[in-house]
Chain A
Amino acid sequence: QKEVEQNSGPLSVPEGAIASLNCTYSDRGSQSFFWYRQYSGKSPELIMSIYSNGDKEDGRFTAQLNKASQYVSLLIRDSQPSDSATYLCAPLWGADGLTFGKGTHLIIQP
């Protein structure tokens, strides 16, 4: 059974601070990892993809992957109120279907 665990939150972070979102997954077979942002009532929006161990940076976002620990994280620097959303971790097992976690609800406090 493929399991993806995320702290549901809410995670409250002051504006301008770093938000740290974590995700663990159950199966070492996953090779691709994705972070999506979902605003209430909207569809998932792709933020980051990461395929190998280490860090990957894109603007204010940094994804970190540790396959040995089955752990992936997302850091958001200089958090803005517009970053308030639910963040979904989605490893890819096999070729096709993403397995989503329940998501972490992030609140950026002005």
Chain B
Amino acid sequence: EPEVTQTPSHQVTQMGQEVILRCVPISNHLYFYWYRQILGQKVEFLVSFYNNEISEKSEIFDDQFSVERPDGSNFTLKIRSTKLEDSAMYFCASSDGTGDEQYFGPGTRLTVT
């Protein structure tokens, strides 16, 4: 069964450093998403991406965040200058249509020290 994959599973970085989280969405899906979940809190939407551009973003997705689809399979989230409060699980998701079911990857645990 097709699934969303994410790398790395765990990333440790120092405050102020840049990180790139990688995702491979399900192959025939066209819509891609990033969510995050701070430990003990709810899952929060960050951004959605379709046709090589951002279609929606939340208040959390400020100028330190960016997304890119560098090739036909990967979808990345870049955090330019990490802060302690960026420590969270980051989930990538994909769907084959707007409003349709979103399937989540296993997540990347980001720890900022």
A96 proximity list for chain B (CB < 8 A): 31, 33, 45, 48, 50, 55-56, 98
A95 proximity list for chain B (CB < 8 A): 48, 55-56, 98-99
* Chain B contact patch, size range: 20 to 34
User: How many A-B contacts if CB must be within 8 Å?
Assistant: 63
Given A96-B31, A96-B48, A101-B42, A43-B91 contact (CB < 8 Å): yes
A102 proximity list for chain B (CB < 8 A): 41-42
Is A45 within 8 A of B104, CB to CB? yes
Is B43 within 8 A of A44, CB to CB? yes
Asked if A22 is at the interface of the complex by the 8 Å CB criterion, the answer is no
A36 proximity list for chain B (CB < 8 A): 104
A20-70 interface (Cβ within 8 A of B): 31-32, 34, 36, 38, 42-46, 49
Asked if B64 is at the interface of the complex by the 8 Å CB criterion, the answer is no
- A74-110: CB near B (< 8 Å → 1, else 0) gives 0000000000000010101011111111110000000
- B79-98: CB near A (< 8 Å → 1, else 0) gives 00000000001010000001
Q: Which chain B residue has the least Cβ–Cβ distance from A6?
A: B42
B55 proximity list for chain A (CB < 8 A): 95-96
- B93-111: CB near A (< 8 Å → 1, else 0) gives 0000011111111110000
Q: In whole angstroms, how far apart are the Cα atoms of A100 and B102 in the complex?
A: 13
Q: In whole angstroms, how far apart are the Cα atoms of A94 and B91 in the complex?
A: 20
Q: In whole angstroms, how far apart are the Cα atoms of A45 and B1 in the complex?
A: 14
A residues whose Cβ falls under 8 Å from a Cβ of B: 31-32, 34, 36, 38, 42-46, 49, 88, 90, 92, 94-103
B residues whose Cβ falls under 8 Å from a Cβ of A: 31, 33, 35, 41-48, 50, 55-56, 58, 89, 91, 98-107
